[in-house]
Structure 1
Amino acid sequence: MVKVSSRPGSALPLALLALLPMLGAGAGGFGCSKNEKPEERGAPPPPVVETAKPGACAAGGGTVDDPVQGEFFVRTAGSYCLEPQGDTKTYGDRGKLTMDQVCTTAVDGECEVYKSYGLKRAVIVRYVDGGGGGGSVEVILSTFGDPGGAYGMFSKRVIADADPADPRAPRAIAAGGAGALGNGRGYVWKGPYLAELTYLNEQESPEQIAKSSASVLTAIAEGLGGKLPGSPDKPAAAKALPTANLVPNGIQYFPKEMLGVARLGAGAVGYYKEGAKRYRVVSLVRDDADMAKDAMKLLRQRPGTLPVAQLADEALHLVVQDSPDRPKSEYVVARKGASILGIGDEDLALKPGEPAEKQAEVRLTKDEKVTRVRGWLVAAAGAGGAPAAGAADAGKPTR
């Protein structure tokens, strides 16, 4: 949830810079603006914390003073434990502090971002190293109005404004419904909950922090993920994304007005890597076919959109350019019943001014996109709605 740590500032994610930016009215459309407000970006400086003395965990650690969610936190994890006599901060529903105080005492600049995802409650606790190593872990457990809001915020935090295929991106860990481990930080999602873990140690260099934090963050994340109630199932649009060639943790979920497009509703974007080829898949799942048709109408309003014949119930071809200094991206979007899937170029893999033959090394052709979308939708219909692990292969042309 909130950032009171040494985590580098993160902008609103550039998850879909290339996808239909002109559809959103005054909100950057399907792309996230590169000119975001500074107050939505940064995290405050890390808090000054006292180093726990050796033996601080000898009595088994402290407890979380919160009758609502205190039982979700493990008392010990390796040599770490809940800080004895630690000060538990609770905000919002049945908390000691109000949600307004989240903005004034716990968050710097991102309060409205969390609220936009439906933040209802927050708990902040601290773990300390009983071995006297100087480390501590701050855990912020956020409760959202529904699982979609929590998963959306998780995906935003994990992807941030970076390429999830980058080796430096947070890696997936088995914790809760989804977990990720980055440099000195970790994330856990399950049901309506998002936990953010930050490791602090003023005695270590950044390189040392990256190494020493991994074990304790993983242990706390796994313990917390095992105790959190709620379903580990991702929202329908995220579940409908094909899994073959999907970058680990390479999903961004938008719980409402997908990517700023008014009335478009919830949807997910997947990041894919297939050899040298890079692409994105857009997924929307509606309650019925009529609602999906309405979503396609919104997409069809983009100037220059052309129909694609003999593909599912209806399909569109879109040529998108986020800004004059970005390469053009092509998308094929199709509807089958209440489901919509689209595939397009990976903006992060395209360099401005790059020759077409060079871009062709990472792009799929239009025919390849059509073939994949057709295969995914056929596989989804046969599997009852969600593409199976090999669905991407089902859509590939034979050789």
Structure 2
Amino acid sequence: MNRLTIVGIWLILTCTGTTSAQVLKKLAKKAEKSVERTVERRVEREASKKTDDALDKVFDAEKSGSKTNQDKGKTDSDPTNGIDGQAAETATKTFASYGHFDFVPGEKVLVVEDFAQDAVGDFPAKWNTNASGEIKTIDGSGAKWLALTTKGSVSPEFVTDLPENFTMEFDLAVTPGYSFYSQPLMISMAQLSGANDFIAWSRFGHGKTSGVVVILHPQDAGGAARGHTAYELWSNGKKTMENKLTALEAFNNRDRNMVKVSIWRQQQRLRVYVDEKKVWDLPRAFDKTVSYNGLVFSRDAAKDGEEIYISNIRLAVGAPDTRSKLITEGRFSTTGIYFNSGSAVIKPESYGVLKEIASVLQENPGVKVSIIGHTDSDGSDELNLKLSKERAAAVKVALSTEFGINGDRMETNGKGESEPVGNNGTAEGKAQNRRVEFIKL
């Protein structure tokens, strides 16, 4: 009990000379509740202060001490790097949650944008905008991010074709507490005819022609830890279809404010995933008569300090035909099995590729394969050779434990950086070289 409460009880006893036990009990109970409320308020203040301090560290846009792969001495620079040991363990534990994840990245990597060539504080040199934005770091992510800091659109000028069969992946983050009243992120895959046509693809832009728009927001109505998503289909200047999905738990501004977005086009079909959750699957999203050649990210007005971040964009082409290549051609190579940087820990978003390979082996029980790991040239030859062997072994374990493939049907090896298929001087070439190969025995 606090001092005022004790003094109050003492005065009552002194003035009356006597009191009933029942009254005394009531007073004591009230005093205890008063103390509890005081303690709760103190705890809330302390917790709020610690949370604010933590968030300041996580989203430290001006932090100059963030380390790159080279600073940390990592090898085999993965475009989705920056997962530390604790996060890697968490990623491994969530592998099972991808049981319905069927996304398979394209085989040939066309674009990798990790903003490695851009300085923190600058707008990226190979992009265009009618607004503003800058490269920032998020402490602990090990990556550079393009922060959309004001309303408007940004567009990578090096993306000039979105083929009939392509996959696009990118990391998405928002500042914690992103308001429901702030505008969402719009991802537009559009037909652009001029250098500045991308401006039309903002939320309230004019002059849209033909395109497919995916919308993501981390806060739904009601205040719960849920976001929402929508899409819009445009053809010849008219919106032909739209829909909205609320209560999206996969992306929210509290505990899932940093996610991976995967987009898959198969001719007219569009699939969209947020981490392991498939949020859209539209069989007639893309117009087969339209040449989609532009990619636009945009946002409109938002509260001060509320920003959207994108990073690690990977655009690839190809409709994987695992059955044909492995069974009839005797060889299948994939860049879609992802590992934590410099380690053999398989990332959970690799589930779709592993499931495809496992289904081929299950349907052909007499087939045996050799699994061979390959790396890019970052790091020493010795470390990369060791790493490639460990990654091949990890794939074998995953196929055996997750999908029941008999281990006797698989042997493993690693070639390190010795057999490149791409230019190790470019990000796209390195992504091609980081691969796992399956050869029928």
| Fold agreement, TM-score > 0.5 | no
Greater RCO, 1 or 2 (C-alpha within 8 Å, sep 6+):
2
Question: TM-score with structure 1 length normalisation?
Answer: 0.31
